Amino acid sequence: MIRTSKHYTKFSNTNKLNKLELFINEYKRVTQIFTDYIWKNGYSWKDKDNKTQTFDLSKNQLELPRWLDKKIIKDSNVDTFLIGRALKCCLTQVS
């Protein structure tokens, strides 16, 4: 299984570079929306022992799980052209 690949933009045309820049800017914007949502609303999840854990700034509980639930995408009401895979990558980076 190939997990990474390198892509060079040295010889890309202007249109492809513009689309890449648009994607990167949208990715940053959506990641910031998810981050703001979690910081404002907190986050709860069940750990491996089925105990409820919580991320809450007001209580100084600052731990997050490795992966966040995709329901944050719906709850944050983000309006974007990014597809599900990119949105899930955003959530992983936020955590």
What DSSP letter does each residue of the chain carry, written as one string?
Answer: ---------TT--HHHHHHHHHHHHHHHHHHHHHHHHHHHH-EEEE-TTS-EEEEBGGGTB----SS--THHHHHTT---S--HHHHHHHHHHH-
Q: So what's the pLDDT on residue 81? A: 95
Domain parsing of the chain, residue ranges: 36-94
pLDDT digits (tens, 9 = 90+) for 32-80: 999 999 888 888 888 888 888 878 777 777 778 777 888 888 888 899 9
pLDDT digits (tens, 9 = 90+) for 20-36: 999 999 999 999 999 99
